[in-house]
Structure 1
């Protein structure tokens, strides 16, 4: 089973696609759709770099006949300016790649990470912002790599960052995927091997509360297709026990409000006919516990909120965006609107005023998908 997160971004990366109308939009009283300065593309990552500024990243899609070209896309919004989202130029704007994730340890330490150039079988694209200028840094890949990419990054300090992702290589006549874990030490990205005894895992997300508290999540690549979380305590990576709730599953995202408040979310399949149920788990400083979430669907992104967590994704059963928030009273629907005839949230961040959600939507059945940017009004 391939990750729902990787599968979704791969589908959006190939070309514009036809969709079926899903009817009227859900209630959207607390949300506004923000215009994006890009005609076609997808917002795969969101983060706050300071108390006023939000960055959104992903890719811009350009179609030329039957072919499609992907280029990295970075947008920014300063809440004080009131001028909406603006395009930010980076050195990699013309590269055939995506920005899959970004992380900020303040406005002077921001990482953007993406894919390698599959045609050239080269290193993975990463970019760093130090508050004044951009630096492009190549991350190495194992010998024989066909394609690779980072799907998550965690900035800890200018000399300390972690990134996770995948590589695709050949074994005989067949290709296979393996997980990828790398560390930035202030000079270069270096591959890190997981300790013996931890089976291979494809890793989709990573978060940090400090240099000695790093969490990564994904799915086991040993044939069991089970969700997995890994933890680094400053010396060793270990695999904590997470209760299983279904036949298969994966954690597409992991976020932390503090060392004793970590959330992982994704999808579980209860049986062979299941199209997906949201999977949410919480770490309280002692152990991981599954937190049953309402509805059906898959969670792509999460954000810690006061007293709990918010999650967003997509529900194939209803053809609607999925969004729920947990607080001391239980789960409450985010009432995400369906923009156009079909929209999917892939990213989210919390601000002092509410939530920002990013993704992609189709205005009609023939137009290419467009960047989705939603802001909660309260």
Structure 2
């Protein structure tokens, strides 16, 4: 541990300056809440090393309601003792020694983090605790998003499905990748390996990225990809939705052939590679195929039963050809999906955004436009 660790413990406060430092510098965090609490929402650098399991916490909570705090504390010490206590303290100690710049916290900065800190200190490993806990840090991020977002000019990058918007976006000097934070490509076929974060976890990560952006770039224009209010099951915060709907829109336009090729690469080749990396060749292909079938089934109502069955047959034919070394057969169902589902939906949605379009062009032209800082600074807001 660092020599000034005791001073850090004494000096930790729940003011915005401390939280700004924690999030800007990705300080490692021990989250001592129960696993169920952690799963509902956490911070990107937090590791769940709970003081109590979900079951233990439930028992202590019931005891607290019936018999008060003293009885609950006594029960907690009875449940977490001996080898159980030693294992949990050892896990905290390993983390603290590996990450001396970190902190620990519980929900409100109360008994659980105080006990965890006390037990760590007794091992000769003092570690700073965040006063106010998860609740205070979460409140800080909510206020940061609501107060700072309106001050950051947004520019929205749009285009039809398959225009490689995300590839263009992530090559720009100033952007936040909403789909990356949501771990989802945004469409019915956009599911990615690893699943999506909890809604609160998504919001936390988004606001931390905004905080970092603001400290690095000030209030320079920020480019975001055009998204609906949902990216998979992660919902954009309402304040962000409102700002995006008033921001200038830049459209990237590519040929149908290019769009098919991009979608083939992203949704077929890349998704299969990720699936096989996780589950192995045979099982990975099975997971990959089941995911595409499920995605296609979500479009059944919009496509109609007959057309859905026809496209499903093309999908199954694509799987058979894929196993025979002809994965490009998938393009036979990707192309009609564009013509019959994605493009009509895009055209309809674009009618509501025509007044916000400030530029449109091919990938190279849009890339040059979005890198022209003087132009971006002059763009209007469509309130």
TM-score using structure 2 length: 0.23
Q: For the pair shown, which has the larger CA radius of gyration, 1 or 2?
A: 2
Richer in helix (by share) = 2
